[in-house]
Amino acid sequence: MEGVSAEMLQLLVDHAYLSKVDITEENVHPLFEAADMLQFNGVQGDCHDFLQGHVNEETCLKIWMLADRASVSFTELAETAKSCALKWFEEACATVEFLQLPVHLLKTYISDEGLLARNEERILEVVMLWARHDLKERQKHLKELLKCVCFSRMDQDYLQNILKTDRVLAKVRGIKQMTKSQSTHDRPRQILQQDFLLLGGSRLFLGGETGKEMRLHLNNYMYRLGLDSHCVDRSPLPEPLQDNRGIAACVLDGDVIVTGGHETLNQAWRYRPSLDSWTKLGCLRTGRFYHGMAVVQGQVYVVGGSRPVQYPDSIERLPDVEVFNKRTNRWKKVAPLELAVSSFGIAACGGKIYVFGGSPYVYDGDDVRENETDALQVYDPLQNEWTYDSVLSLKMTSIQACTVGSKIYIVGGNLKCVLCFDPDIQIVTFMADRLFPWDQCSATVCGSEIYITGGRVHQYLTTANGTVRKVTNYGSVQCYNVDKDTMVLSKDLPEPLYGHCTVTIDKT
């Protein structure tokens, strides 16, 4: 049987008799193709599940092509592989599989508005690289592919020079008109015009003289990250915000508003990305940390949180809610939460504020006791009132909530997957699984994607020597695509962190 090796055929014959198959990274691709050709749907499904968990920067293009060639539709696998390839453009283009991409996949790849390339010049370079790999056969596709390149965003000196020096490019019919057109790309990559900021956070590690003492490291920097998680810039936070935990942040009119914190309970600050400057705002009326912030109808709200009663022995939860008056530079109290909580998920949607879960009980140093709720609290600014419900039917804390379109997505905490909440019908849907633990992560939205950063796992393990505390910090960046319901990894954070804040801003 042409296209099926003896080894793969043997695995399929064994499966027919034994109903099991040993899938490995080495055999999964030829086994998938053999199972597809001979219609071993069960084996192909097992290969699909295996591949779904092994999509990365080195395998994404190969898996994308594999799913695309299959006689049975594997849309989820194809979308996951494609999403990964969009995030890891440079790494994917350096693989052998890039040069083997069929023209229809390459066109889909380079025309996607979510492609994280350095610039349009780089996209042109890889198109020409692909074409030259088999110029005699591929030259006829060049014009079609070049329509996916946005020449108007290129450096014009670079463009003029390459037209003079690259004979293959210069011979493409109509190339001069294409390079002069301002609309050669139907959907400009606007998503590339944004970055995200990471502020504060901490991590635990073993240190001290014995090497077994748990030490806390606090991040005193603000990182500016591109959408491929590459660090564009790093700058120190204002001195009062350093050596701090539990701050909250949101974006108002392009500026970042930061409030509260363990060491700055009542403080509020404004960061202007366009000027790279910090300004102190009027103080909060109630000091807090591990609280939430939301913007509704151009107004900033600070919600709930914690405050020390007899720190560090006792920490209480706050119901207090405040709104900022830009004209007077003062905070005003509005209706309080029905249930005082901290470490909750908060999102603005449809002109209202939604608060999901959180920790409602006083903390007295006991990390083992359950301290979470399934409460959903909704604030209507027009009525200045909160409503309380338990439609979540799932207790959660240390989570994040993000609005995309008309729905709210919840990640973090002990959740195993993304939750999608529809405010109109009050229903929660389970979406894509997480790739890494994400307790106390942060999350921010860019376009139709949610960037979920960092997190930790905090455990008490029973050993022969007694109870041992173990904390694992994560620097992973998990990108959830709302439209495709796919979760892929981007580059890691500059350092593993939890309890930090992230916000999306325009490039400056």
Region 89-115: mean pLDDT is: 94
pLDDT for position 191: 58
Q: Identify the CATH number of the domain defined by range 6-180.
A: 1.25.40.420
Burial (CB < 10 A; 0-12, 13-18, 19+), residue 334, is middle
pLDDT for position 213: 72
Type of residue numbered 136: K
Q: What mean pLDDT, rounded, does the chain reach?
A: 91
pLDDT for position 263: 93
Q: Which band of pLDDT confidence, cut at 50, 70 and 90, is reported for residue 389? A: confident
Q: Report, at the CATH architecture level, how domain 190-506 is classified.
A: 6 Propeller (2.120)
Region 172-176: mean pLDDT is: 89
**Measured between alpha carbons, how far is 165 from 171 in angstroms, rounded to an integer?**
11
Which long-range contacts link 38-47 to residues 24+ away (Cβ below 8 Å)?
38/1, 38/4, 38/12, 40/12, 40/15, 41/72, 42/15, 43/11, 43/12, 43/15, 44/70, 44/72, 46/21, 47/23
397 DSSP 8-state letter: -
Task: Give domain limits for the chain.
Answer: 6-180, 190-506
pLDDT for position 314: 84
State pLDDT tens for residues 410-435.
999 999 999 999 999 999 999 999 99
Type of residue numbered 283: C
Of residues 313 and 287, more confidence is placed in 287
- CATH topology identical between 6-180 and 190-506: no
In the sheet that 449-463 helps form, which strands lie side by side, from edge to edge? 442-446, 449-463, 466-481, 486-490
Cα angle vertex 247, ends 241, 251, to 5°?
100
pLDDT for position 283: 98
Region 234-248: mean pLDDT is: 96
pLDDT for position 321: 98
- Taking alpha carbons only, the member of 296, 300, 225 closest to residue 479 is 225
